[in-house]
Chains A and B, each alone.
Chain A
Amino acid sequence: MGVGGLSWKIGGGAGYGIMTTGFIFSKVCSRAGLHVFDHIEYPSLIRGGHNTYQVIAKVEEVFSHLKKVDLLVALNRETIDRHEDELVLGGAILYDGDKISLIEEDLGRKDVRLYNVPLLRLAEESGGRRIMMNSVALGASVALIGFDFARISSVMRDVFQGKARDTIDFNIKAAKLGYDYVKCKAIEKDFRRELPEVDGKKRMLLTGNEAVGLGAVKAGCKFYSAYPMTPSSSILHFMAAQERSFGMVVKHTEDEIAAINMAIGAGFAGARAMTATSGGGFSLMSEALGLAAITETPIVVVVCQRPGPSTGLPTRTEQGDLKFILHASQGDFPRFVIAPGDVEECFYRTIEAFNLAEKYQCPVILLLDKYLSESHKTAEKFEVSEIKIERGSLLNDEELEKIGEFKRYEFTETGISPRAIPSQEGGIFTATGNEHDETGYLSEDKTVRTRMMDKRFRKFEQAKKEVPEPELFGPQDAEVTIIAWGSTKGPIKEAIRLLAHDEIRTNFLQIVYLNPFPADIISRTIDTSKKTVVVENNKTAQLANLIREKTGKEVEHKILKYDGRQFFPTEICQMIREVMYNG
């Protein structure tokens, strides 16, 4: 990656502690003041299989994972076989020669540096268990990038907080042995990829899911109910850990149907409520989504996509649920669908989601995917001073008293009706999944039905005026305009950077609000752009189809990937070049 940056990858079977090791390395780099993006790949099993953790650390901001690797830490042979071709020219493999016999001829190339470090022997020497090979490798890696050892030990102490003293001490010792081994043999002099330590700026290192959790806490989410499903489960874990300190009730329910219905009950009762799941769980939730809409109960639903159908590829990534999310459940009703593209957006859009849910009294869906949910990125501390909690037309006790005759579903100009919550005097009503009149009483009258449908949709007309327009990144006069949504934002931004080196001017229209849909802007962008292309992590170009549906226009080119993995920036570049020169 050149000066001021490193792409590091560790690989091994599940059970080797790859996740923890990778995270510690990530945090070491982040605490040294570097920008970090990390990315994990793992199959759905607890032991065996092949896990990798990649960390990109740079002086400048980094938006995504990268195809190229500078230093590959191989805890098993498979890691070398699978990832050797990702090594940059002159890249290095750190491995244990006692366990893996590796000679230069094994590799199809001559430029790779082989650093044989006796990981297992040093782990045993440290007095710890064999698994602490990973900590030895970590120490060796940090020595190779030229950081002080103190950086690892302090991160280890924090990450292992709560573990037995022995475990922490042995791990630190193991790391130290690895560190010293590299220094003693002066291997870092050969590697020559020291990273600068740019201390000063303290940044957070967090995943999209953690940012959603932080946003929810800040937004005043008081009730969170969910059923574990990768890649949404870490929101449940985060919320559960904060439950007592922030006065929330977090419930691991019997299934997703209960999860969403409990959230609806809590929303009805006046607590800000959220649930999260993935496509399979959302399938179970879909009936209740319509209930939230017709009862005008605010709820926030987070859907962290993974490839389906059914169980699909449970630990991989895809953007295959957009159309489903937009249409799920019975009947016609307005819903917000918001797709944040990075951790900052995960935080701010989650807060926005809670405000919209209460202002417009309807379900709001936040759409993430595994890549965004589980990758860590460094971010400045979120700016919270401007954040407003907007509860819409939720009446307080005095307002309710003054109002005289309260009609929960009153026909108003905006379609937004006054809202009361149980325990408020004068606010009594029955919410119902059946159609109802202004008071909430059952009605199948045809006029009432029509007016109620219109009222619910009128809210959305209002909402359209409020939601922010999509942002255009990059030069106005680009040769290629990318239109995309969600987690591809990072790889696209990196790709644009790379394309600039080739003097291909590219810009990027990021669609964050998929409903209400910014049809006008997209339509205009298509009209005024030289070449347009969607970049989507799915098979059928769901956004492009949506654009056609809403604007009547066809996005000329489609860059699609649906192998369960996120785009590498270089893949996008290559396909953009094809669009430029062949398209």
Chain B
Amino acid sequence: MVELADLKTVGQPNWCPGCGNFPIWHSLKKAIVELNLKTHNVAIFSGIGCSSKMPHWVNTYGFHSIHGRPLPIATGARLANNSLTVVAVGGDGDGYGIGVGHFVHAMRRNLNIAYIVTNNQVYGLTTGQTSPTSDKGYATKSTPTGVIEMPINPIALAIASGATYISRGFSKEMKHLTKLIVDGVRHNGFALVDVLQPCVTFNRKNTYKWFSERVYKLEETNHDTTNKQAAFLKSLEWNDHIPIGLFYKEIRPTYEDELQQIAETPLARQKIEDINIGTLMTEFE
């Protein structure tokens, strides 16, 4: 049995007091415990940002990489060893900004990866510039007169891109978030858990209070999570009412499922000594 204590590492998170990343971190650990995963069979991949430091504080295999690239790295690792439980974590700048290309492609591939995006609608680590999800008009250091563009809608993007588990959590709703992560990791396919993560230092608008007044749980409505159109309509809700929970879920073969070469033994565990290329060489005669 895995316990929370097993997930402790030498360090402690250095996020700002009250940072919305703490509850996400706790929820991830709780999910690992609840799923009773062997710590050495879990690998957590992240990019760069405040939130991307998370792998250092969860005692599993980890890869804290470069800005925007956790998904390709996780993809390579998952394809190299499809017995691993692969989780990716990163900020909205990381995933929806610099890494948005990978985000879209990872979803259409439907790899068995759970991707948690700590969406604080600003760039935290670089001290509060606008992010791809900042609300229109929001003023930051890099947009002193307010953001001109429309924000990216990650849920709608995920629906359009073919992700098979699409959800949104809220840092303040830890139990709810833990369940989303548990189900996302359990889901055989690409699972997005976008998390409303208040940045207490740089986001003066989208605060705990702001969200608390607006969020409601999809489970408490009659939302049909198998209905893509309904999910899309729900994804458009913002400002007055913000849905959290599972938007959409679908069972579709994963990318890995279609690869017969890893059906029995993961690549990383295949023998590479004495590979016979005799016949292959003959083909060049």
Contact = CB atoms under 8 A, between A and B. Distances in A.
Say which size band chain A's interface belongs to. 35 or more
B205 to A, nearest CB: 30
A516 to B, nearest CB: 26
Contact of A434 (B64, B73, B79, B105): B64
Contacts of A265: 45, 63, 72-80
A432 B64 contact: yes
| Most chain B beta-carbon contacts within 10 A, residue among A202, A251, A428 | A428
A424 interface: yes
Contacts of B83: 423
Interface string B102-122: 101100000000000000000
Given A220-B272, A273-B76, 12 more contacts: A31-B285, A248-B261, A262-B73, A262-B75, A265-B80, A268-B76, A291-B69, A381-B281, A423-B81, A432-B56, A434-B64, A442-B53
Contact of A442 (B11, B39, B267): B11
A206 interface: yes
A225 interface: yes
Nearest to A261: B72
Contacts of B278: 384
A513 to B, nearest CB: 24
A422 B78 CA distance: 10
Contacts, number: 204
Interface residues of B, number: 57
Contacts of B80: 222-223, 249, 265-271, 273
B127 interface: no
Interface string A406-426: 000000000000000111111
A247 B261 contact: yes
A106 B41 CA distance: 76
Contacts of B43: 269, 422
A434 B14 CA distance: 15
A223 B260 CA distance: 14
B1 interface: no
A455 B41 CA distance: 29
The 6 A-B residue pairs whose C-beta atoms are closest, nearest first, are: A220-B272, A265-B76, A430-B62, A270-B268, A262-B76, A261-B72
A258 B102 contact: yes
A382 B276 CA distance: 12
Nearest to A376: B284
Interface of B: 9-11, 38-41, 43-45, 48, 53, 55-56, 59-66, 69, 72-81, 83-84, 101-102, 104-105, 259-262, 266-270, 272-273, 275, 277-278, 280-281, 284-285
A169 interface: no
B267 A429 contact: no
A265 B80 CA distance: 8
Contacts of A204: 281, 284-285
Contact of B268 (A251, A254, A423, A431): A423
Contacts of A264: 65, 73, 76
A218 interface: yes
Contact of B79 (A266, A291, A421, A428): A266
Interface string A544-583: 0000000000000000000000000000000000000000
A523 interface: no
Nearest to A217: B277
A567 B261 CA distance: 43
24 contacts: A205-B285, A214-B277, A214-B280, A222-B268, A222-B272, A223-B79, A223-B80, A247-B270, A249-B79, A258-B101, A261-B65, A264-B65, A264-B73, A266-B267, A269-B81, A269-B268, A271-B267, A288-B66, A382-B277, A422-B61, A423-B266, A424-B40, A432-B56, A441-B56
B48 A433 contact: yes
A203 B285 contact: yes
Contacts of A291: 65-66, 69
Nearest to A429: B61
Nearest to B73: A265
Contacts of A262: 72-73, 75-76, 79
Interface in A225-283: 225, 242-244, 246-249, 251, 253-255, 257-259, 261-273
B102 A254 contact: yes
Mostly, the A contact residues are mixed
A261 B81 contact: no
A31 B45 CA distance: 51
Nearest to A442: B56
Given A222-B268, A423-B83, A261 B69 contact: yes
A116 interface: no
B101 A254 contact: yes
Contacts of B261: 243-244, 247-249
A288 B53 CA distance: 18
Contacts of B267: 222-223, 247-249, 266, 271
Given A264-B73, A428-B59, A441-B10, A423 B277 contact: no
A121 B73 CA distance: 57
A225 B76 contact: yes
B79 A261 contact: no
B10 A439 contact: yes
Contact of A441 (B11, B40, B63, B69): B11
A225 B69 CA distance: 15
Interface in A272-328: 272-273, 287-288, 291, 295
Given A269-B43, A270-B80, A422-B77, A431 B64 contact: yes
Contacts of A41: none
B63 to A, nearest CB: 5
A429 B273 CA distance: 27
A28 B270 CA distance: 39
A255 B101 contact: yes
Contacts of B66: 261, 287-288, 291, 433
| Most chain A beta-carbon contacts within 10 A, residue among B38, B59, B84, B280 | B280
A205 B53 CA distance: 51
Contacts of B59: 428
A225 B55 CA distance: 25
